[in-house]
Amino acid sequence: MPASQQLSRLFGRRRFNIKPGLERITALLERHGHPERSFAAIHVVGTNGKGSTAAFLAAIIEQAGYCTGLFTSPHLVSYTERFRVNGVDCPPEQLEALIPDLLEQAGPDDTFFELTTALACHWFARNKVQLAVLEAGMGGRSDATAAVAGIATIISPIALDHCQWLGNDLQSIAAEKVAIARPGSPVISAVQPPDVQAVIEEYCRTNNNRLLLAGRDFNATSNGADTGLTFTGSSGSLSGLHPSLSGSYQTGNAALALAAAEQLATLGFPISQQAMQAGLATARWPGRLERLRLADGSELLLDGAHNPAGAQALAAALQELGKRRIILLLGMMEDKDLQGVLQPLLQRVQQVITVSPAQERALPATELAARCRTAGTPATAADSVAAGLEAARAAAGPGDLIVAAGSLFLVGELKALLAGVPCEAVRG
C-alpha cells in the first residue's frame, strides 16, 4: 500500500476524537510488548511553553551524550516531526513501515493520539533511546502519555484551555495536569497563579513528590542580549547562557529545562554544565516567534499563539520590537477564546488579514474579520491562506512586519506553502 494511504488509515482514527482514559493505550502498549518500559521518560505538561521547554530539555540531554527521544504534538508540516531521536525527525519511510503493525494491534476504538503515542514508544524502543521527553497532548492523568511511567514531571504555566475536557477553572485544570506525576518523583513547576500552586503543592504533599518551584528553588535572569542568562538552581549558578529560541518568555522555559536537568543527575543521569549551555544554544522549535525573510524582502514572524496567555506573550514580544507597523495574518479555530486572543494582539497591530486554515473547525475568515473590525482594527478576509499571505505582502511597506498567528495549523500551512511541500495538517 502506498505511504500516503498508510498515513490516511492512521489519520482516519481522528473520527474517534478525544477520549480521556488510559485503558485503551495501556492495552495497546501491552499488545506491543510494552516498548515504553525500555526507556526513562520525563513528562512535560501545562498550557503554554510545553513544546519549547521540551525542546530545550531534549537538546540538553542529547548534548550530555544520552540517546534522546522527543515526542511532541501537534506537528506543523509533516507527521514525522512528532518523533525525534537525537534531534532528527523519524524518516518517513521507516515510520510508514511501522504503521501497518500498529493498526493490526489496535483496538476498534483506539484514538489517533493514542496510536501516535504508541508509535512514539515503539520508535524510541527500536532506536534504543535512553531518555525520552514526552509532551502531553493536552491533559495530564488521562492523557495517553500518562501510560508511560515518568521519572520526573515538568509543569509549564497553566491557563484556561481545552476547558470542555479539563474543567472550567484553573484549579480543576491544575489537578488534572499534576496528577500525571508518579508518586515520589520530582515535580518542577513554573511560576503559577496562587490557586494553581496550591493544588500542585497539595498533590506533591499527598504523594511524596519533591516539588521545585520557579522563583523559590530555581530561577533564570537576563543579563542583556550580550551576556545572556544566569541560572541559579540546586547545584549552584551558571552564567553565559544563550537560548536559541526568541522571546523574553523563553527565559522561564529555559529555567524549567535546566532545573529538570539538575534533577536528572539525582536520578542516575548526570548532566554537565557544558551540556546545559550547549543544549540551550542548539535547541530548535519552529513556529514560535520564528522569523523568516521572504523572497521579496518582506519579513514574516510565525507564532502559534492560540489562547489568551499565548497571545499576551506574543503581544509582549511585539512590543519589544519597538515602533514598527505590523500587519497581522490571523487564522483561528472556532473552539478557542477569540476575545481573549484578540484583545492583546489588536493593541499591537495596525491591520489584520484573516484566513481560514484548512481545518474542519476553523473559524470562517469573514466572521473573524468582522470581530476585528468591531474591536476597532481594520480587517479584511482572504479566500485562502495563500491569498492571505499575498495580501499581507502587498500591504507591507519597507520596514513593516507581517505576523502570522492564531493557530499552529495556520503556521504549518504557511511553512508548507513557503517550502513548496504538502501540509499533513491534522489535529491531536
Please give the pLDDT value at position 166.
Answer: 53
Please give the pLDDT value at position 7.
Answer: 80
Q: Which of 176, 195, 69, 215 is nearest to 133 (CA)?
A: 69
Residue 19: pLDDT over 70: no
Mean pLDDT value of segment 356-378: 94
Residue 195: pLDDT over 60: yes
Q: What CA–CA distance (Å, rounded) separates 51 from 82?
A: 11
Those residues whose C-beta lies under 8 Å from the C-beta of residue 29, and which sit 6 or more positions away, are 35, 36, 118, 121, 147
* pTM attached to this predicted model: 0.92
Phi, psi of 290 (to 5 degrees): -90, 120
Instruction: Classify burial at 300, counting beta carbons within 10 Å of its beta carbon; exposed 0-12, middle 13-18, buried 19 or more.
Output: buried
Whether omega for the bond prior to residue 92 falls within 30 degrees of 0, making it cis, is no
Q: Express each pLDDT in 152-188 by its tens digit.
A: 999 999 987 554 555 568 999 999 999 999 999 999 9
DSSP 3-state percent helix, strand, coil across the chain (nearest 5): 45, 20, 40
Please give the pLDDT value at position 428.
Answer: 52
Q: What CA–CA distance (Å, rounded) separates 25 from 111?
A: 9
Q: Express each pLDDT in 66-101 by its tens digit.
A: 999 999 998 999 999 999 999 999 999 898 889 988
Find the length of the chain: 428
Please give the pLDDT value at position 9.
Answer: 81
Please give the pLDDT value at position 140.
Answer: 86
Contact 132, 83 (CB under 8 A): no
Q: Express each pLDDT in 179-190 by its tens digit.
A: 999 999 999 999
Please give the pLDDT value at position 44.
Answer: 98
Which DSSP string do the residues of 26-42 spell out, in sequence order? HHHHHHTT-GGGGSEEE
Please give the pLDDT value at position 4.
Answer: 64
Q: Which of 285, 219, 277, 297 is nearest to 251 (CA)?
A: 219
C-alpha to C-alpha distances, 200 to 109, 186, 197, 320, nearest whole angstrom: 32, 12, 5, 32
Q: Express each pLDDT in 217-248 by its tens digit.
A: 999 998 766 668 999 999 999 999 999 998 88
- Rounded mean pLDDT of the chain? 91
Please give the pLDDT value at position 168.
Answer: 64
Residue holding cell 505511504?
3
Q: Which of 385, 399, 403 is nearest to 302 (CA)?
A: 403
In the structure, what pLDDT confidence band is assigned to residue 3 with cuts at 50, 70 and 90? very low
C-alpha torsion sign, points 180, 183, 185, 187: positive
Structural element, H or E, at residue 290: strand 290-293
Q: What CA–CA distance (Å, rounded) separates 178 from 308?
A: 21
Residue 61: pLDDT over 50: yes
In the structure, what pLDDT confidence band is assigned to residue 105 with cuts at 50, 70 and 90? confident
Phi, psi of 117 (to 5 degrees): -65, -45
Q: Express each pLDDT in 317-364 by its tens digit.
A: 999 888 889 999 999 999 889 999 999 999 999 999 999 998 888 999
Sheet holding 401-405, edge to edge: 290-293, 299-302, 401-405, 326-330, 351-354, 379-381
Grid coordinates belonging to 360: 474542519
Q: What CA–CA distance (Å, rounded) separates 307 from 330?
A: 13
Characterize 350-384 residue by residue with b for buried, 16 or more Cβ atoms within 10 angstroms of its Cβ, and e for exposed: ebbbbbbbebeebbebeebbebbeeeebebbbbee
Between residues 275 and 142, which one has the greater pLDDT?
275
Q: Which of 254, 258, 245, 286 is nearest to 64 (CA)?
A: 258
Please give the pLDDT value at position 249.
Answer: 85
Domains and CATH numbers, the chain: 3-282 (3.40.1190.10), 290-419 (3.90.190.20)
Q: What CA–CA distance (Å, rounded) separates 258 from 256?
A: 6
Contact 285, 279 (CB under 8 A): no
Q: What CA–CA distance (Å, rounded) separates 70 from 57?
A: 9
Those residues whose C-beta lies under 8 Å from the C-beta of residue 374, and which sit 6 or more positions away, are none
Structural element, H or E, at residue 89: strand 88-89
Please give the pLDDT value at position 1.
Answer: 36
Highest mean pLDDT among 1-15, 268-282, 314-328, 413-427: 268-282
